[in-house]
Amino acid sequence: MARQFPHRTAVFHGTHAVATYAQWAERCAHLAQQFQAAGLTPGDRVALFMHNHPRYLEVMLGAWWAGLAVVPINAKLHVREAQWIVDNAQASWAFVTADVTPDTQDQLQGLQRVIDVDSAEADAFWSVPSPTHPAALHTMVERQSDDLAWLFYTSGTTGRPKGVMITHRNLLTMGLAYFTDVDAITDQDAIVYAAPMSHGAGLYAIPHLMAGARHVMPASGGFDAAELFELGQALGPLSLFAAPTIVKRLVDHAEQAALSPTDCAGRFKTIVYGGAPMYVADIQRALRIMGPRFVQIYGQGESPMVGTALSRFHLSDTTHPEHSQRLASIGVAQTPVQIRITDAQGHDLPIGDVGEVLIKGDSVMAGYWRNPEATQAAIRDGWLFTGDMGCLDTHGFLTLKDRSKDLIISGGSNVYPREVEEVLLQAPGVSEVAVVGTPDAEWGEIIVAFVVAHQGATLTTEALDAFCLKEIARFKRPKHYVLVEHLPKNNYGKVLKTELRHRLHQR
C-alpha cells in the first residue's frame, strides 16, 4: 500500500491525521532496523503492555517487519500478572504506556529494554534519520507461514494463563476470512479501535491494512460512545469490533440522542460483535434502533476471530421462518474452518444434540507456548476442542449454550445459564443478568441469578421468580436472586462469572 498509494492517509488520532501509508511504512521499517541493530533476531518476543495508542500498530508491524513475535498483554492486568507473562514468553523488550500502572518501567524486570511510547526515549527511537522513498524501505525479514507471529495469553480465570501460539498462516487466514465471511472493505473504509488492541480488535487491523483502509485511534484511547458517534460523523462511517457490552452502550447513546437508523448509517458502516453472549433481546433492539449495521463472529484466542459468522443478511432477514432461532445462534462456519459437535469421547452427535464445539482449519493455533500437555489436551487429530457447548441445526447454524465449565447440574438435570439469562432479560425492568451455579448439599448445585435493574426501575425477587415460573421449567428457575448495581467485567466486556462464584462462596 505504501508503494501503490503513498499519499493516502493511513492513521488518525481522533480526527487528526498522523501518517500517510508511506510515512507509516517508513516508521515500521525504521523500527525494524532499530530492533535488528539492538541485536534482536527473528523469533524473539516483544511485549506490548499498552492501552490503545497510535504507536501500537507501528510496534506490532515493525516487529513483524524484523521477523519478531508480538506478545500483547491486557492493559488492565496488574504489573505482577504482566511480569508473569513477560517471563513465561521470555520476552526481550516491552513497550508500555505509563498509565497501565504507576512506575511500570521500574517494575517490569528481566527485559533488555522497556520503552514508554510517550517518552523522549521513544521519540528518539522512532526518529527517522532522513526521509526515504517507499521503494527504498528496509527489506522485511522473510518468515515461514508456520513461524510464530502473535503470542496471545488467555485470561487465566481458571489458573495461570496459557500462551496461544498464533502463526503467520493463522493471521493470514483470519485476514482473508474477514473479506469472505464478515464484510467487504474498500480504501474508503475506516476501522476505529475502541476495544482493547491486545485482543481481536488489534488483529482486525490486518484485513483493513490489506485493503488500504484508514485506521482511527480514538483520542480517549478507548470506548466512549459519544466520541465514536462524533468520529463517525467527521471521518465517515466507521467499522469496529465490539463486545456486546459496547454494542449496548452504542445503542443506548443512539436512542438517547434520538438518532434514526439512517443517522446511524452515516456514522457506522459495520459493527462486528463477539467475545461474549449477545442476547436476542439486545440484538433485536440494536437492529431496531441502529439498523442493519451488525455482524456476529465467534472464535477463540486459539482460533482468532475465525469460527462462525452470523451475517448482516441473516440478522436482517426478518421474514425467514427461523429468524428468531438464528438471532439466538452465532451463525454458520466461516469459510476456512469445519465445525463439529461431539460428546465427551469425541464422537459426533446428531443434529440438535448439545455437545462440545470442535473447530478445524488454518486459523487454529500451533499450540500452547511451552505447554505440550495443554496442547495435547486441546488439539486432537487437528481438531480444537473449544470447551464451548453448543448444537447445530439442519442448516448449519451453531447455537452456543455455555462454556462446559459453566454448565449447572442441579438435581441431576443439566441447566445452561444462558437459557435462563435470555428469559430474565425479557422481564420488566431488567438491564443485565448473569446466572451461575453454586454448591448445594441437597441438589448438588443450585442456580443463582445476579440481576441489574434498568435505571429508575425497581425489581423484586418475587416478581422475577414469578416471571421465570411462567417462562421456563421449574427446575431451571433460580433458587436465589441477587440484585446488584453492576456486574463485574473484564476490559473486553465479558462478565467475570468466576468473581460471582467467589462472592457466593464468601457469603
Contacts 24+ apart (CB under 8 A), 39-42: 40/66, 40/68, 40/92, 40/93, 41/67, 42/66, 42/67, 42/68, 42/141, 42/143, 42/147
Helical (H) or strand (E) element with 501:
helix 497-506
The reported pLDDT for the residue numbered 421 is 92
- Cα 250 versus chain centre, distance: 17
Average pLDDT in the 151-174 region?
Answer: 87
The reported pLDDT for the residue numbered 106 is 56
Which residue ranges form the domains of the chain, and what is each CATH number? 21-143 (3.40.50.980), 407-506 (3.30.300.30)
Tell me which residue of 281, 256, 258, 254 sits closest to 271, measured CA to CA: 254
Task: Compute the distance between CA of residue 15 and CA of residue 227 in angstroms, rounded to an integer.
Answer: 11
Average pLDDT in the 199-225 region?
Answer: 96
Residue with cell 416478581: 463
Q: Which of 148-152, 238-242, 468-472 has the lowest mean pLDDT?
A: 468-472
The reported pLDDT for the residue numbered 157 is 43
Residue 11 has pLDDT above 90, yes or no: yes
- Please state the pTM of the whole predicted model: 0.86
Average pLDDT in the 409-422 region?
Answer: 84
How confident is residue 159, by pLDDT bands cut at 50, 70 and 90? low
Is-contact 240 200, C-beta < 8 A?
Answer: no
Task: Compute the distance between CA of residue 295 and CA of residue 315 in angstroms, rounded to an integer.
Answer: 8
List pLDDT tens digits, range 463-483: 999 999 898 888 899 999 999
List pLDDT tens digits, range 81-123: 899 999 999 999 999 998 886 664 557 999 999 999 999 999 9
Average pLDDT in the 382-410 region?
Answer: 90
State the CB neighbour count (10 A cutoff) for residue 439.
11
Which spans in 291-366 are helix H?
A: 312-316, 323-327
Average pLDDT in the 323-340 region?
Answer: 97
DSSP result, 217-278: E-TTSS--HHHHHHHHHHH-SEEEEE-HHHHHHHHHHHHHTT--HHHHHTTEEEEEE-SS--
List pLDDT tens digits, range 35-81: 999 999 999 999 999 999 999 999 999 999 999 999 999 888 878 88
The overall average pLDDT reported for the chain is 93
Residue 412 has pLDDT above 50, yes or no: yes
55: region left, alpha or beta (phi > 0 left; psi from -120 to 50 alpha): alpha
Average pLDDT in the 349-364 region?
Answer: 97
> Cell numbers at residue 337, please?
474452518
Residue type, 166: I
Average pLDDT in the 227-240 region?
Answer: 98
Residue 178 has pLDDT above 90, yes or no: yes
Question: What is the three-class DSSP state of 157?
Answer: coil
Distances (CA, A) of 421 to 430, 444, 481: 10, 21, 12
How confident is residue 401, by pLDDT bands cut at 50, 70 and 90? confident
Task: Compute the distance between CA of residue 283 and CA of residue 209 in angstroms, rounded to an integer.
Answer: 29
Task: Compute the distance between CA of residue 312 and CA of residue 295 in angstroms, rounded to an integer.
Answer: 5
Contacts of 109 (CB under 8 A, 6+ apart): 83
